[in-house]
Structure 1
Amino acid sequence: MFLFQRFTLRPLAVAVLALGSPFLAMADEATVLGEVRVSGQAENDAITLKRKTSTGSRLGLTIQETPAAVTVVGRETLEQRGVGNTQEALRGVPGISWSSDPGSSGTVFFRGFSGASVTQMFNGITVQYDSIAARPVDSWIYDRVETIGGASSFLNGAGGVGGSVNNITKLANRDGETSEAKVGVGSYDKKQLAVGTNRQLSDNHYLRLDINREEGGTWVDGMRREATQFAGSWLVDLTPALSHTLAVEYQKETVDRPYWGTPTLRGSGGTMQIDRETRFRNYNSRDGIYEQTVQWARSVLDYRVSDTLKLKNTVYAYDALRDYRNVEVYAFNAGNTAVARSAALLQRHDQKLLGNRFEFTWDSTLGGKTSTWAGGVDYSINKQTRFPLSLAGPFGTVDPYHFSTEAFFSIPGMVPGFTPDRSNRVKTLALFLENRTLLTPALALVSGLRWEQIDLEVTNLRAASASNPAYFERRYQPLTGRLALNYELTPQWSTYVQYSTAADPPAGILTTASFSQVRDFDLTTGRQWEIGSKYLFADNKGQATVAYYDIVRRNIAVADPVNPGTTLPVGQQSSQGIELAVSYKPAPQWRLDGNLGIVSAQYDDFTENVGGVAVSRAGKRPANVPERVANAWLTFTPHAQWELGADARYVSARFGDTANTYRDQAYTLFGAYVSYKLDRKTSLTLRGKNLSDEVYAERVSGTGMAYLGAPRTVELSLHTRF
C-alpha cells in the first residue's frame, strides 16, 4: 500500500508493529473499564494556562506551572485563523518569524537564533536536520503546535539555544466518535479536500484516520504544487492500566519548477527594492523540481503501574527522501537590464532515523515535600546520505520580463543520476531527569538535567584527500540543564525565574557535517536567564504572559584573524528580549488575541573571512532577525450563525548579511474572514490574506535575492462535522 512504498522503511515498520503485537493479542482477554462519558462546555482554546503540555516539561505540568515561556496553538485556533501549514501556526508565538524557501524551507528565527539553534520536532522527536526536514506541512493532520522559548537542550537534545517547536499529530482517542470533512478553493487555482474520523471499533479499540489533499495555490509563473498527507492511529486498551498506540504518517509533496527567489535591484543604497514587474517571474529551469516523501511510524506503550508511577515507551522510525533539480540563484546586472542565472544543483537526501525512548513519571515526597520526578533514556540511530552535483555557472542572462529557460539536463556538465557524496551516521544515547518539588504550597523548585553521548561517523563515498578523508568520527558528550523557581502569587497569577543551558552542533548540523566543519570544534554552548509572569484575569476570560530573557551562545565557528583561510572555535552571539501575549474574551461574542516580541540580537565576537581578509562583525545583527514582530486577531460573533474576524502582522526590517549592509523594509499584513453556519455542524468561510497586496520578503539573502511572501489571496471553504 502507498504508506510503505519504499522498501527501506518496511523493516523498521515491521519492528514497530512487532513490539505491539503481543499486547494486541491480549486485548480480547483484557478487562477494560466501562465506558465513561464526560459532558460540559469546552475550554476556550485561547485560554491555555491551565492546560498541560509536554513541550515545556515531562512532569505533566500546566503552562502556568511551567517556569518557561510556553505557547500552545490548539486545533480550534488553527481552524479559526485559517492556518494553512505548520509555519503559519507560529504566528501565535511571540517574536517568531520564518521562511519557506526550498533551500532551507524549515528555517525559523526565534529569540535571535535560527538553523540548528532552534529545535523543531514532530511529536517530540527531532530528526536533527530541522531547517530542511521541518518544511511546512499542511495543518490538517495536526492537533496543535507547541513551543518553548530559549535554551531547551535539557528536554530535546543538542540544539535549542533559541527555542524548540513541537508539531503534534492528531491521535486516536476515547472522546467519542467524530467525523469531519473540508473542501476549499482559492486564488491561483488552489484546491483542498480533507477528511478525518475518530471511531470506537469495540469496547477497547479506537481508530483515527486523517487525510488531506491539496494542489495549486502557487502564485509564481510555471510553479505547481501537489501534496498529500495521511495520518492513522490505532489505540488499544490492553488492560485498565496498559494501552498501546500504533501511529503512522505519510507525506508526499511534489513542486514543479519551484520558486527560489526574486533578484533585487542594484544601486538601491543598501535597502532592498523589488521591481514589481518581476514579482511573479520564475527564473528556474523549466523542468525544475522539488519532491519529498516522508514516512513516520511510532509504537507507544503507556502503563500506569499505580496512581503515582507511570511508564511510557516509544519506538519510532522515520524515512525521508528529498530530490532537488534547480537553478537557484538570480541577480540583476549593474544596469538592471538583465538577470544572470547561476548555481545549478541536482541533489538527493536519503535519511533514516530509528530510535527508542523510555520514560517515567513518579509522584513522591522529598524531605517531606511533595515531589514529582520524570526521566528516562533515549537511543537513536540517524543516517543520511546526500547525492549532490553542483555547477556554479553562470548560465547566461535573460531579459527580466520576457524569457524562457532551459531544460535542466541541457546545462553543460549536468547529467541525470545520483552519485553519493558521503554518509553521516549519528548515534545518540541520552539520559534525562526532571524534578518538581513544592518548597511551600505556592513555591516550586523545578530542575532538569540531560546527558548525551553523540557519536558521529562519516564515510566519504568519493575520492579521499587530506581535507576529505575516507572516514572520520567524533564524539560529543554535552550536559545541559535547567534550574528554576515558580511562585504562585494567587491561583490565577504566577511568576518564575529560570537558568537553562544548551549545546549546539558545531558549524551547523551533524547529519550533514563535513570533516572541515567538525575537525577542530566541540559543541557550541549556550545559556539563558529568563524571568516571566503568567496571569489569568476577568474570571478566567483572559490571560496574559510576559517574559524577559538573556541568551549567550559561545564557541561558534569563526574565521581566524591571523589566517583567514581557516576557522577557530571562538566567538559569541547574544540576544536579549521581551515577549508579551494576551488573550481576552470580554463578552461571549468578542475575542481578542495578540502578541509582541522585541529582541536585541548581535554578534559579540565574530570574525568573517571576506575575500581572504578577516573582518570583525562584532556588534552586527544576525541576518534575517527582525527586532520586532507583532500579531493581532479580533473576532466578533454578532449572531449565532455569523462570525467575523480580522488580523494583522507586523515584521520590522531585517539585514540580509552579517555585515549589515543590505536590508529589507518593514512590512504589515492584513487579513479578514467571514464565516456562516449553514447548520449546527457545517460552516462556510470566505477568507482573505494580505489584503493590501503587500510586496514583502520572508527572507533576504546577501547575494541580492529576496524570497517573497504570497500576494493577496482569497479562499472559500466548507467545513462540516458528522
Structure 2
Amino acid sequence: MSELDLGPRPITPLPERLRAGTAVGVLLSCAMTTTALAQSTTPSATPSAAPASETSSSIVLDPVNVVGDRPVGYKVDRSASDKFTAPLLDTPKSVTVIPEEVIEQRGATTLEEVFRTTPGITLGAGEGGVPGSDRPLIRGFNAESNVYIDGLRDTGAQTRGTFNLEQVEIVKGPGSAFAGRGSTGGSINLVTKTPKAETFVEGSATVGTDKTKRATVDANYAVNESVAVRMNVLGHDGEVAGRDSVEMSQYGIAPSISVGMNGPTRGTLALSHFQTDDTPDYGIPYDRTTGQPVDVDRDNFYGLTNRDFRETQSDQVTLTLEHDVTDALTVRNVTRYSWSTIDYIVTNPDDSAGNVANGSVWRAIKSRNSDTEIVANNTELLGNAHDGWFGHSFIFGVEASQEDSQSRGYSVDTGNRDCSVTGIGAASNYNCTDLYNPNPGDPWTGSITPSSSYRDAKTTTVAAYAFDTIELTPQWSINGGLRLDNYKTEVQSGGGRGGDFDGSASDTFLNYQAGVVYKPLPNGSIYASFGTSSDPSGASGGEGSENLSAANMNLDPERSVSYEIGTKWELMNRKLSVTGAIFRTEKTNARVTDPAGGTEQVLDGEQRVDGFELGLAGRITDKWQVFGGYTYMASEIVDDGAGTTDGNEIPNVPEHSFSIWSTYDVFADWTLGGGATYMSSRFGDTANTRSVPEFWRFDAMVEFQPTENLALRLNANNIFDERYFDKPYTTHFATVAPGRSVLLTAVAKF
C-alpha cells in the first residue's frame, strides 16, 4: 500500500463541501457544478472506466470564479451537513431538502407549515406538552427532540420561525450515527442564512385576511473581499384563519458577520433572537361515540381570552471557525450558547365526565413556565484523500453539550369536572361552556397562582463520530458512519401528580450507518442501506426528560433499526431529481409496562413501520418547476407487553400521504403556482379508538414581476376552506388546521 495522499483530487473537490456562507464555497461550487453539467451534456463525454487508483494522475484544473446570480430552484445537490460526505445523488439514505424558494412561494410562516410541504411527516400534540410547539413525527416516530440548527441539537419545546432559514433538511429513518440519541424516525436540520460575498437588500411586506400583517428584511453587505455582514429581521401579527379569537404575533432579528472569507482561516459569528405572543389553541373535543372530533363549527374556540396565553422566546449565539490545513483538509469548530423559554396557560377542551354527550365542555387547563439553557461545542476534521487504491471523502468529529432546564406550572381554579353538576356559564364561573356555542370572551374570574410543582433536569452528552464515502470505482461506492455517545440525564421533581422524584439515567451506546451505492449512469444511483438509533430513558433532554421516571431510569436504551433500498436519478439535463425508496423502521425493544405486573417498565415491546416513498424536485422545463412526493406507511404495534394493543396501528401514522407544489412561468413576468396535500385518516391513540378523518387541501399562487427588483405575490391557502385536523391527541381533543386565507406580498430587491 502506498502512503496516504492528501493532495488535490478531481473527484469531489473540497471547496464544494465548504459551508455555503463562505465566498470560496459559493464561487468554487458554482465553478465545479458548471463544469460537471457541461460534461454531462456534451455528446462526446462518456463515463470513465478507469479505476480509482488511476484518477490521481488526472488533470486538476485551477479554480474558476463565476460572477453572477447564485442558481435558484427546487433541486438541491448537497446537504449543508458535511456528515453527508457525498452529494445527495450518491447518499444511500432518504434526505428531503426543502429550499428557501419553496418556503417563500408557499407562504409558509411557521415551521409546521414548512413540514406540510413534504409527505411522511405528521404533527403531534401533547396534553401536558406545549400548544403550538414544533413536534414533528417522521415515519411515525416523534422527532421533537431531534431538531438541529446548523448541525447542533436544539432542544426545548418551542416554536421556530422561518425568516432566517435558507433550507430545511429532513433525514428519514433511524439515524443516531448522524444525530445522536433518539432519531428513531429521523432528524431535521434547519440551515440558517449566513453572510455572502455580494451586497444585496431584500424586503417583503405582506397583508391578508384574518388581520395578517408581516414584514421581513434580509440585508447583506460585503465590506470587502474578506468581510461581510448580514441582518435578517421579522415582524408578524395576525389571527389564525378559521379560528375564533386565536391570534399570533412574532418578532425576530438575526445579525451575523463573517471574516476571512477568501482566506484559509474563516470565522462567522451569528446571533438570533425570536419571540412569539400567541393565543394557544387545543382545538375541538372528541365525540366518544364516534371516536372523531365532535361535529361543531370549525371556528368554535373553547378557551378564554382573558385567561389563556402563550409567550415564547429563544436566543442563540454561535461562533464558527474554519481553517484549511491543506487544499484537501479543513478543521472546523462550532460553539453555541442558547436559551429558550416558554410560558403558557391553555384550555384543554375536556370530553370526560360525559360532558360532550351532555352538550357541554369543561375548560380544563394545562400550564407551564420553563426555560432551557444549552452550551454545545463541536469540532470536525474533514477532507478528501486517496490511499493508492480508493478515494475517500471523510469527516471526523467530537461533540460535547450540556442542557439545563427548569419547569414550573400554575394552579388555576377550574371548578368541578362534571359540567352537569355545576351547569354551564356563570353557574360554573365559566369553567363549563356550551359545546355548540362557546364564548371565548366569558368573564372568567378564577384565581391563578404559581404551582408548587417543579421539574429540573440536566443532560450532558459527549460523543465522537466518523463518516467516510469510499469510491471503489466510478460506479461503486461505500458509505459508512459510526457514532459513540456517552449520555447522562439527572432529574429532580416534586409537587406534581407523579409525586417527588429524584433520579438519573446514563449510558454509553454505539450507532452506525452503512450503505452501498451503484451508479449505472453518472446521473443515477441504486443503493441499499442499514442504520441504527438508540433512545435512552429521558433521551429528549431538557424538558423532554419528563419521560424519565423510577419505572424506567435503570433500563437500557431502546434500539431501532432501518432497512432501505432506493434509487435516485437526475433527469431533464440533471435539473430534476427523482427518488424512490422502500423502507422498514423497527423498534425492537420498546419500553412497555411489565407483563408480570406492577408499574415497572421493561424492554419487551416492538413497533414497526413498513413503507415506500417517491419524491421529485427541480425543473421539468426551464419554465416548469415541481416539488413533492408520496409516502405509504403500514404501521403496527407488534408487542405491547402487558397492554392490549398488539396488532393495532401506531398513532398519528397515515397510510397514505401526498404533497405536490408546482409553478409555471406563463410569461416572462407572470408565474402561476398550485399545490395539493392529501393525508389519509390517522388514529390518535394506541387503542385505535380516537381518530381524525382523511383530508385534501389545495393552495394556489400567482406572482407578477413588473421589474427585475420588484415582485407581487398572491397566495390563496386552503382554497376550499377544508375543515381538517392536523394534530390528533390520545384523549380529549384534536387541533384544527387553519382555514382559508389570502395573502398579498410585495418583495423588493436592491
What interval of TM-score do these two structures reach, taking the shorter chain for normalisation? Answer: 0.7 to 0.9
AA of the residue aligned to 1:397 = C
Q: Mark the CA change 1:308 to 1:42 in structure 2 (over 3 Å): closer, same or farther.
A: closer
SS in structure 2 at match of 1:702: coil
Aligned to 1:291: 311
Q: Mark the CA change 1:515 to 1:705 in structure 2 (over 3 Å): closer, same or farther.
A: closer
Give runs of aligned pairs for residues 482-561 of structure 1, distance below 5 A: 482-506=513-537, 509-511=540-542, 512-513=545-546, 514-516=548-550, 518-561=552-595
Residue of structure 2 aligned with 1:61, choices 86, 95, 110: 86
Q: Mark the CA change 1:436 to 1:279 in structure 2 (over 3 Å): closer, same or farther.
A: same
Q: How far 1:591 sits from its partner (Å)?
A: 2.6
AA of the residue aligned to 1:439 = L
Q: How far 1:359 sits from its partner (Å)?
A: 0.5
Give runs of aligned pairs for residues 137-156 of structure 1, distance below 5 A: 137-156=160-179
AA of the residue aligned to 1:666 = E
Give runs of aligned pairs for residues 465-480 of structure 1, distance below 5 A: 468-469=500-501, 471-480=502-511
SS in structure 1 at match of 2:681: coil
AA of the residue aligned to 1:485 = V
Q: Deviations over 1:516-560 (max 9, x none)?
A: 254232211111111111011232242210011111113222122
AA of the residue aligned to 1:124 = G
AA of the residue aligned to 1:590 = W
AA of the residue aligned to 1:594 = G
Structure 1 position 97 matched with structure 2 position 122? yes
Q: How far 1:89 sits from its partner (Å)?
A: 2.1
Give runs of aligned pairs for residues 67-216 of structure 1, distance below 5 A: 67-99=92-124, 102-103=130-131, 105-115=133-143, 119-129=146-156, 132-133=157-158, 135=159, 137-174=160-197, 176-216=198-238
Residue of structure 2 aligned with 1:659, choices 681, 687, 691: 687
Q: How far 1:342 sits from its partner (Å)?
A: 4.3
8 Å CA contact 2:286, 2:292 repeated in 1: no
Q: Mark the CA change 1:93 to 1:238 in structure 2 (over 3 Å): closer, same or farther.
A: closer
Q: Mark the CA change 1:288 to 1:234 in structure 2 (over 3 Å): closer, same or farther.
A: same
Q: How far 1:343 sits from its partner (Å)?
A: 3.3
Q: Mark the CA change 1:65 to 1:37 in structure 2 (over 3 Å): closer, same or farther.
A: same
Give runs of aligned pairs for residues 182-261 of structure 1, distance below 5 A: 182-219=204-241, 220-237=243-260, 240-255=263-278, 257-261=279-283
Give runs of aligned pairs for residues 614-625 of structure 1, distance below 5 A: 614-625=642-653
Q: Mark the CA change 1:207 to 1:178 in structure 2 (over 3 Å): closer, same or farther.
A: same
Give runs of aligned pairs for residues 272-671 of structure 1, distance below 5 A: 272-276=293-297, 279-284=299-304, 286-331=306-351, 333=354, 336-366=357-387, 368-389=389-410, 394=417, 396-404=431-439, 410-411=445-446, 414-415=448-449, 417=450, 419=452, 421-460=454-493, 468-469=500-501, 471-506=502-537, 509-511=540-542, 512-513=545-546, 514-516=548-550, 518-563=552-597, 565-583=599-617, 585-607=619-641, 614-671=642-699
Q: Deviations over 1:305-348 (max 9, x none)?
A: 10121000001111011101233233384664532224323321
Q: Mark the CA change 1:464 to 1:573 in structure 2 (over 3 Å): closer, same or farther.
A: closer
Q: Mark the CA change 1:208 to 1:649 in structure 2 (over 3 Å): closer, same or farther.
A: same
Structure 2 unaligned residues grouped into runs of 5+: 1-62, 418-427
AA of the residue aligned to 2:94 = A
SS in structure 1 at match of 2:384: strand
Structure 1 unaligned residues grouped into runs of 5+: 1-34, 608-613
Q: Mark the CA change 1:168 to 1:115 in structure 2 (over 3 Å): closer, same or farther.
A: closer
Q: How far 1:402 sits from its partner (Å)?
A: 4.1
Separation in 1, partners of 2:701, 2:210: 18
Separation in 2, partners of 1:140, 1:479: 36
8 Å CA contact 1:72, 1:146 repeated in 2: yes
Separation in 2, partners of 1:163, 1:335: 38
SS in structure 2 at match of 1:615: coil
Separation in 2, partners of 1:505, 1:343: 32
Aligned to 2:40: none
8 Å CA contact 2:85, 2:468 repeated in 1: no
Count how many residue pairs are aligned between Structure 1 and Structure 2.
Answer: 666
Q: Mark the CA change 1:646 to 1:91 in structure 2 (over 3 Å): closer, same or farther.
A: same
Q: Deviations over 1:223-250 (max 9, x none)?
A: 2221101111100008720011000000
AA of the residue aligned to 1:374 = I
SS in structure 2 at match of 1:77: helix
Q: Mark the CA change 1:262 to 1:286 in structure 2 (over 3 Å): closer, same or farther.
A: farther
Q: Mark the CA change 1:390 to 1:406 in structure 2 (over 3 Å): closer, same or farther.
A: farther
Q: How far 1:698 sits from its partner (Å)?
A: 0.4
Separation in 1, partners of 2:497, 2:112: 40
AA of the residue aligned to 2:695 = Y
- Of residues 279-288 and 700-709 in structure 1, the stretch that sits farther from structure 2 once superposed is 279-288
Question: Which fold has the larger relative contact order, with Cα–Cα distance below 8 Å and residues 6 or more apart in sequence?
Answer: 2
AA of the residue aligned to 1:655 = F
AA of the residue aligned to 1:52 = R
Q: Mark the CA change 1:156 to 1:586 in structure 2 (over 3 Å): closer, same or farther.
A: closer
Aligned to 1:611: none
- Of residues 541-550 and 577-586 in structure 1, the stretch that sits farther from structure 2 once superposed is 577-586
8 Å CA contact 2:146, 2:154 repeated in 1: no
Separation in 1, partners of 2:351, 2:205: 40
8 Å CA contact 1:325, 1:408 repeated in 2: no
Residue of structure 1 aligned with 2:78, choices 28, 52, 63: 52
Aligned to 1:29: none
What RMSD in Å do the two structures reach over aligned CA positions?
Answer: 2.6
Separation in 1, partners of 2:497, 2:628: 55
Q: Mark the CA change 1:181 to 1:597 in structure 2 (over 3 Å): closer, same or farther.
A: same
Q: Deviations over 1:642-665 (max 9, x none)?
A: 111111000000011111122221
SS in structure 1 at match of 2:115: helix
TM-score (norm 2): 0.84
Separation in 2, partners of 1:678, 1:42: 21
- Of residues 95-104 and 477-486 in structure 1, the stretch that sits farther from structure 2 once superposed is 95-104
Q: How far 1:701 sits from its partner (Å)?
A: 2.4
- Of residues 190-199 and 239-248 in structure 1, the stretch that sits farther from structure 2 once superposed is 239-248
8 Å CA contact 2:181, 2:539 repeated in 1: no
Q: Mark the CA change 1:323 to 1:355 in structure 2 (over 3 Å): closer, same or farther.
A: same
Q: Mark the CA change 1:447 to 1:78 in structure 2 (over 3 Å): closer, same or farther.
A: same
Separation in 2, partners of 1:179, 1:239: 22
Q: How far 1:462 sits from its partner (Å)?
A: 5.8
AA of the residue aligned to 1:345 = K
Separation in 2, partners of 1:42, 1:405: 49
Aligned to 2:708: 680
Q: How far 1:464 sits from its partner (Å)?
A: 13
Separation in 2, partners of 1:586, 1:372: 31
SS in structure 2 at match of 1:260: coil
Q: Mark the CA change 1:204 to 1:500 in structure 2 (over 3 Å): closer, same or farther.
A: same
Q: How far 1:404 sits from its partner (Å)?
A: 4.4
SS in structure 1 at match of 2:690: coil
Q: Mark the CA change 1:201 to 1:142 in structure 2 (over 3 Å): closer, same or farther.
A: same
Aligned to 2:57: none
TM-score (norm 1): 0.87
